[in-house]
């Protein structure tokens, strides 16, 4: 797909570069998807990688539980035992994989 002025206008300054090795089949598949989306291969891969990174990190920062499990958790927080205190300490002492705000 040729690089167009529309693509240039959407581009922001990028200063970092990564290189990856892929198979010919992967390149063909990703190039076809990029073309269908009206994107360059770089734009497509960058967007897909960012989406996957955000999804992966969200899985580790948000927990979905049913009502019963949520109630057990809330009850445990209200009834502070030594085990609960130790568990909460372990949760908060573990370094975050997210960048500091």
Domain ranges of the chain: 18-62, 64-94
Alpha-carbon distance of 84 to 89, in angstroms, equals 8
Consecutive sets of 10 residues in the chain, 101 residues long: mean pLDDT of each? 52 84 96 97 96 89 87 85 83 77 62
pLDDT at position 1: 44
In whole angstroms, give the CA distance from residue 19 to residue 28.
17
Residue 79 is predicted with a pLDDT of 82
pLDDT for residue 47: 96
| Structure token pair of residue 51 | 């989406």
pLDDT for residue 30 = 97
47, 39 Cβ separation under 8 angstroms: yes
- Residue 44 and residue 13: Cα distance in Å, rounded? 16
At residue 82, the pLDDT reads 85
């Amino acid at each position: 797909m040729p690089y167009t002025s529309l693509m240039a206008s959407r581009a922001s300054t990028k200063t970092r570069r990564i290189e990856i090795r892929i198979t010919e089949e992967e390149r063909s598949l990703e190039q076809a998807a990029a073309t269908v989306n009206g994107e360059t291969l770089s734009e497509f891969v960058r967007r897909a990688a960012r989406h996957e990174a955000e999804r992966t990190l969200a899985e580790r920062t948000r927990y979905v539980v049913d009502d019963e499990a949520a109630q057990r958790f809330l009850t445990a927080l209200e009834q502070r035992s030594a085990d609960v205190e130790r568990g909460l300490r372990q949760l908060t002492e573990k370094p975050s994989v997210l960048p500091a705000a």
